[in-house]
Every structure is written in structure tokens, then in C-alpha cells.
Structure 1
Amino acid sequence: MTDLPFRPFPDDAAVREIGQRLLDRSLPRADWTHEAHLGAATWLVRERPDLDLDAQIAAIISSYNLAVGGVNDADSGYHDTITRTYLAGVRAHVATRDPDEPLADSVNALLASPAGRRDWPLRFYSRDLLLSAAARRAFVEPDLAPLPRPC
């Protein structure tokens, strides 16, 4: 049993499986956890340069949500601003890591960092703005601090 505030990935294969099952929409809904979101995002950034994440991430996650019986509306499902905020954090994290580092080690380090916390977007956004329907539908600029940029 672990006393970590997150469930670490045991190995690279586990991270890749989450990412691939997101893409092929076969990941069980119950497995689409916070850790899975950040693991899949790290895998996509590190190992899927063939995907234009800025152009495709909304469709990837929205279509996954629908495939597992979810919805994407003003109250639930895909949230563009939160997704793009974490994507900025993942990109900044990946830019600071050794590119030869095992994928699971990189994801677990991200999850253990401030950027891996569930409340991390609130460093950049007021709660009202972040949780607004407008922020769910489309990316809105932060109102508290600028998002991190890869070095």
C-alpha cells in the first residue's frame, strides 16, 4: 500500500496502454482517472509527434467521452481550458526531463510535482472563470498568472 497522494504507474507499458486505449476509445470509463489524464498527455507529448495536439486534443477526448457513454456539454465532459492548462504543464515538465528517462518515471515525477495536483489550474485561474461554461467550451486566458511555457 502506498501513502502517495496519487497512483503511480508501475512501468512504461502501463502509461502507453492508457494512451493507446484513449486513442482507440477502449479505455474503461472508470480507468480515465486524473493520473490517466496526465499519463496519456505525457505519452502523447513524448511519443506521438505525429499528432497535432493543439488541433486534435479536443476531438480525441470528446470522442472518447462519447464512446464510453459520456456527454460533452456546458456542465460535463470535455473541458477545453483545463485540458489545455494541463497540456501546457505537461509540455513544460517534459522539456525539463531527460528525453531518455523512462516514461513512467517522467509521469510519476509529474504526478508528484505541483503541476500534477488536481487543483493546479487554480494557480492560474480564479475558480469562477475556470469553472465557467465558456472555459469548458473553449480555451480562455488565465486571469491570475500566465501558464508555464516549455523552456
Structure 2
Amino acid sequence: MSEYSMRLFEDDAAIVAIGEGLLACTLPREHWTHEAHLAACTWLVRNRPDIAIERALPAIISAYNEAVGGVNDDTQGYHETITQVYIAGVKAHLAEIGMEVPLHEAVNALLLSHRGRRDLPLQFYSKDRLFSVQARRGFIEPDRASLDLI
């Protein structure tokens, strides 16, 4: 896997803007990066307890993808298993560091941790299993390691 440098956040406002832009489907497509995915998820978990993240995020991301001209099908767009792995990672991270840390510090720490890596799901899934249509369309159990290790 190629190494990418993480783009960190300078303040909470940048993360709130991503989260609100995701919900409103107004976030520019080029801003929907790996870092933005994790920032939005962290903001939703911390600041939007009214949203049942595991159930609601699939529809939120799918609607956003379509609003910016994307497609959610068997080969592109929303991926259920990857999303659920990162939700578990975000929740584990927040349980570890606590909710008192400023949002941008919590997100930056996540991005710099093993849970923020772009290849996190591949620690638990073989490539063939993770990138199967079945994994994209619905959550499937890992075949390499238990998600309890997240």
C-alpha cells in the first residue's frame, strides 16, 4: 500500500463544516477525502447523538455520493463493510481518549493512529473478501482477525 501523509485539521470549525456539508449534501466532492470521512464520523459520534451512526451513515453517505454525481453500485460508491470497520475504529478511539479532548485534536490523533490508516480494514479482511460485492452491499465478518482487536 502506498504511503500518504495525513492532512490534519487546525480547528474544530473545519470538521463541523465537513460534517454539516455531508448531512446537507453540499460538501464539495473534492473535499470528501479519507480524512474527511473520519472527521465526519467522529463529529457525528461525538456531536450528533440523535443519529444512530451504524444505521444512518449508510444512507447519509449514499445520498451524498449521489448528490455530487457519484454512483453507489457493485463496484463504486458506498461500501458497507469498510464504513462499519471505521465506525468501530472511531468509537474505540473516542472511548480510549475520552470526549473532553477538542474535536480537532481527537480527529488528528485518530488520523495518526493505526485506526486512522487507509489500510485499516485490510488488517481484518483479505483483499478478495473486503472488495467483494457482498462486502460492499452489506456488512460481512472478517476472515483475517477479529474486529474486537480494533
TM-score interval, normalised by the smaller of the two chains? over 0.9
TM-score by length of 1: 0.94
Q: Distance in 2 between matches of 1:148 and 1:10?
A: 31
What are structure 1's unaligned runs of at least 5 residues?
Answer: none
How far 1:148 moved relative to its partner? 3.5
- How far is 1:98 from its partner? 2.7
The number of residues matched between the two structures is 147
1:111 corresponding residue in structure 2 = 111
Is the 2:54–2:87 Cα contact (8 Å) retained in structure 1?
A: no
Does residue 76 of the first structure (1) align with residue 76 of the second (2)? yes
Deviation at 1:149, TM superposition (A): 7.2
Contact 2:71 2:77 in 1 (8 A): yes
Distance 1:94 1:13 in 2: 19
In structure 1, the partner of 2:141 is 141
Query: Counterpart of 1:17?
Result: 17
- Paired-residue identity, %: 57
Task: Name the stretch that deviates more: 141-150 or 62-71.
Answer: 141-150
Unaligned 5+ segments in structure 2 are none
- Residue deviations 1:78-107, cap 9 Å, x none? 000000000000000011113111000000
Calculate the TM-score normalised by the size of structure 2.
0.95
Q: Which amino acid in structure 2 is aligned with residue 105 of structure 1?
A: E
Give the RMSD, CA atoms, in angstroms: 1.3
